Amino acid sequence: KAGVTQTPRYLIKTRGQQVTLSCSPISGHRSVSWYQQTPGQGLQFLFEYFSETQRNKGNFPGRFSGRQFSNSRSEMNVSTLELGDSALYLCASSLFAGSRMNTEAFFGQGTRLTVV
Amino acid sequence: TQLLEQSPQFLSIQEGENLTVYCNSSSVFSSLQWYRQEPGEGPVLLVTVVTGGEVKKLKRLTFQFGDARKDSSLHITAAQPGDTGLYLCAGSSGNTGKLIFGQGTTLQVKP
């Protein structure tokens, strides 16, 4: 069974540009969440999508957005990049079929974004 | 706001020693997950605990969920250099896929 796939693995962008990151969840998983990981703040929740709808949103500015497609694949977009957006962006997929065990999340390898 | 306090933040020990990592909150969680992360990679799920008082063992790793489902611990017996990594606890409220993460414990096991 294939795991969570994130592309690209590494990205270098200039301040002011925008970027789109992609995530393909485990087959059959309907929930996709995005996290930002930095040395100072740890793992912080960005948003969660379930059945193409944003179900939860973290405390990030509106420059951070996402979407989910009918095949559960998800993308996140960051516009007007700032130096502080440099981080490892992680995508996690969950089966989420109603029981507590099914909320366990499986992560991709992440996309390392560097803003210069 | 739900928070998870993880301690210690850093741990450097010799091979063969035992250690315990703690994860505490004032909030009740529906389930709690433990992950291990290598540099530059995504976290890998080690275990999920869902019942208050639950104890799960994974080889030399023992995980416990507090009776009130507000805290958890990870105990490693006879640590080995291969255990080196970042250990993360994460709590779920159960009705969404959102996880609240602790700050992590960086473990270094010296041969």
Tell me the pLDDT tens digit for each residue of B12-26: 999 999 999 999 999
Could you tell me if B97 lies within 8 Å of chain A, comparing CB atoms?
yes
Asked whether the beta carbons of residue A100 and residue B94 sit closer than 8 angstroms, the reply is: yes
Measured CA to CA, the distance from residue A89 to residue A106 in angstroms comes to 14
Q: In this structure, which amino acid lies at residue B79?
A: A
Interface probe for A, chosen from B87, B96, B100 (most Cβ of A below 10 Å), is: B96
For residue A48, give the nearest of B35, B98, B102 by CB distance.
Answer: B98
Could you tell me if B104 lies within 8 Å of chain A, comparing CB atoms?
yes
Q: What is the pLDDT of residue B93?
A: 81
Interface probe for B, chosen from A103, A109, A112, A114 (most Cβ of B below 10 Å), is: A103
pLDDT digits (tens, 9 = 90+) for A96-105: 755 656 678 8
Cα dihedral B18, B22, A99, A27 sign: negative
Residue B42: its chain A contacts at CB < 8 A? 4, 6, 90, 107-110
Cα dihedral B10, B6, A49, B1 sign: negative
SS3 call for B65: strand
Residues of chain A with pLDDT under 70: 1, 97-102
Could you tell me if B100 lies within 8 Å of chain A, comparing CB atoms?
yes
CA distance B38 to chain A (A): 10
SS3 call for B81: helix
Cα-based distances in Å from A29 to B11, B20, B24: 35, 33, 29
E strand or H helix that includes residue A1: none
Pair A74, A23: CB distance under 8 Å = yes
Q: What is the pLDDT of residue B94?
A: 67
Q: What is the pLDDT of residue A103?
A: 72
Q: What is the pLDDT of residue A104?
A: 82
Residue A86 buriedness (CB in 10 A; 0-12 / 13-18 / 19+): middle
Asked whether the beta carbons of residue B50 and residue A100 sit closer than 8 angstroms, the reply is: yes
SS3 call for A75: strand
Residues of chain B with pLDDT under 70: 94
Q: What is the pLDDT of residue B15?
A: 97
Q: What is the pLDDT of residue B20?
A: 98
Q: In this structure, which amino acid lies at residue A61?
A: P
Q: What is the pLDDT of residue A100?
A: 58
Could you tell me if B106 lies within 8 Å of chain A, comparing CB atoms?
no
Non-local (6+) Cβ contacts of B28 within 8 A are B68, B69, B70
